[in-house]
């Protein structure tokens, strides 16, 4: 190699590495300004080109025990559960056990025909079914914890939808609870068992679990809501919220370590084929008439500029979560938090901008769902 070429390569490598180190310091500074050691906090990882370039945890898992959060701490990941439910449905499609065009009446013969004979699996996946939310229809008088079947029982006799199925986007937790029941009906396994055997184990997510009353959750984190009037954090989880445990829409507990295994499995097509993964991360239903922003299967998708960005937030009790991915760049930012008073989406936007300063900010989920 000529001396001049060597010098160019040396300086390029030096400044590139220095820029990466500066970015890491900036990310750490952003998080240290928000999370303190003695309060509920967060766990985060940033993966670029398939390599973990930043991973750190802040704060404590529980105010009483004061155990520090780390990368193996298991958080309820709220609506990030939906991407797991969606991939499980696509697995069943890949095995020819269902078609996304199947009507709900195939799986729920006792459901009101005016709904079940019209709504499809794809419309459940893309939040375009118009299925009525279950919350106001569930009899909670003697109920401590609601499950998927309670969601179905609440809406099975309703004879209408919010709109003609497939005509609009309306975010629906109910839809993903029904999808979890379809998984159970076709597999003969509970949702928890199916996910363990067909999703978690193959992905190497050995400490991931679906919440239930008897679940032993290793390294479990406690969620907290901030009471601004009393100026204290209050425990907020399954025992405080009846609908916290519904499985298909938000029941999974996992760690940042295990979630990175999930990302790796998706990138390497370990769980489903490249074609199926691509379909899940593609716009399957455009939102608000914009052809370049919409929902795939378990993810929001922004194709306003290349490369395509996919992302999702989660909110359940005192937990907040966010995952942002650029699949073509093998890039991931994932953050789990056990407090409800921090805007994770804005925080992730800032982190992404540090890595991709010329990138247009991705559209906020609140705007897409309002």
pLDDT of amino acid 10: 43
Cis peptide leading into 137, omega within 30 of 0? no
Question: Whole-angstrom Cα distance, residue 102 to residue 98?
Answer: 7
Question: Whole-angstrom Cα distance, residue 338 to residue 42?
Answer: 6
pLDDT per residue as tens, the chain (370 positions): 555 554 544 444 444 445 556 678 899 999 999 999 999 999 999 999 999 999 999 999 999 999 999 999 999 999 999 999 999 999 999 999 999 999 999 999 999 999 999 999 999 999 999 999 999 999 999 899 999 999 999 999 999 999 999 999 999 999 999 999 999 999 999 999 999 999 999 999 999 999 999 889 999 999 999 999 999 999 999 999 999 999 999 999 999 999 999 999 999 999 999 999 999 999 999 998 767 999 999 999 999 989 999 999 999 999 999 999 999 999 999 999 999 999 999 999 999 999 889 888 888 898 888 7
Task: Name the residue ranges covered by the structural domains of the chain.
Answer: 34-343
pLDDT of amino acid 370: 76
- Exposed/middle/buried for residue 215 (C-beta within 10 Å: 0-12, 13-18, 19+): middle
Q: HSE-up of 6 (CA within 13 Å, CB side)?
A: 3
Question: Whole-angstrom Cα distance, residue 118 to residue 111?
Answer: 11
pLDDT of amino acid 28: 95
* Cβ pair 218, 74 in contact under 8 A: yes
pLDDT of amino acid 360: 87
pLDDT of amino acid 11: 40
pLDDT of amino acid 35: 97
Q: Which CATH class is domain 34-343?
A: alpha beta
Q: Which of 176, 83, 199 is nearest to 121 (CA)?
A: 176
């Amino acid at each position: 190699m000529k001396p001049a070429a060597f010098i160019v390569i040396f300086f390029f490598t030096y400044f590139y590495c220095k820029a990466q180190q500066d970015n890491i310091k900036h990310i750490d500074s952003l998080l240290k300004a928000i999370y303190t050691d003695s309060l509920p906090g967060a766990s985060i990882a940033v993966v670029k080109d398939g390599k973990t370039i930043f991973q750190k945890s802040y704060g404590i898992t529980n105010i009483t025990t004061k155990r520090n959060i780390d990368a193996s701490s298991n958080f309820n990941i709220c609506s990030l559960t939906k991407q797991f439910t969606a991939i499980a449905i696509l697995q069943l499609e890949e095995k020819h056990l269902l078609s996304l065009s199947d009507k709900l009446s195939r799986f729920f013969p006792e459901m009101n025909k005016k709904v079940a004979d019209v709504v499809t699996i794809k419309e459940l996946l893309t939040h375009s079914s118009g299925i009525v939310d279950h919350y106001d229809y569930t009899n909670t008088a003697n109920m401590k914890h609601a499950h998927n079947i309670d969601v179905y029982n609440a809406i099975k006799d309703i004879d209408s939808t919010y709109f003609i199925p497939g005509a609009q986007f309306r975010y629906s937790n109910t839809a993903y609870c029904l999808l979890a029941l379809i998984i159970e009906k076709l597999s003969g396994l509970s949702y928890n068992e199916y996910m363990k055997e067909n999703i978690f184990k193959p992905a190497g997510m050995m400490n991931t679990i679906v919440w239930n009353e008897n679940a032993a959750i290793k390294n479990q984190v406690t969620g907290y809501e901030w009471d601004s009037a009393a100026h204290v954090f209050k425990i907020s989880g399954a025992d405080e919220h009846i609908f916290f445990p519904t499985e298909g829409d938000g029941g999974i507990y996992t760690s940042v370590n295990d979630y990175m295994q999930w990302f790796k499995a998706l990138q390497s097509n370990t769980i489903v084929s490249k074609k199926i993964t691509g379909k899940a991360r593609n716009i399957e239903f455009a939102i608000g008439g914009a052809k370049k922003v919409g929902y795939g299967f378990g993810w929001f998708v922004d194709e306003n500029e290349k490369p395509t960005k996919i992302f999702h937030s989660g909110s359940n009790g005192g937990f907040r979560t966010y995952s942002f991915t650029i699949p073509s760049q093998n890039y991931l930012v994932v953050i789990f938090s056990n407090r409800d008073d921090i805007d994770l989406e804005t925080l992730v936007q800032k982190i992404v901008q540090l890595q991709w300063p010329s990138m247009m900010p991705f559209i906020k989920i609140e705007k897409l769902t309002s």
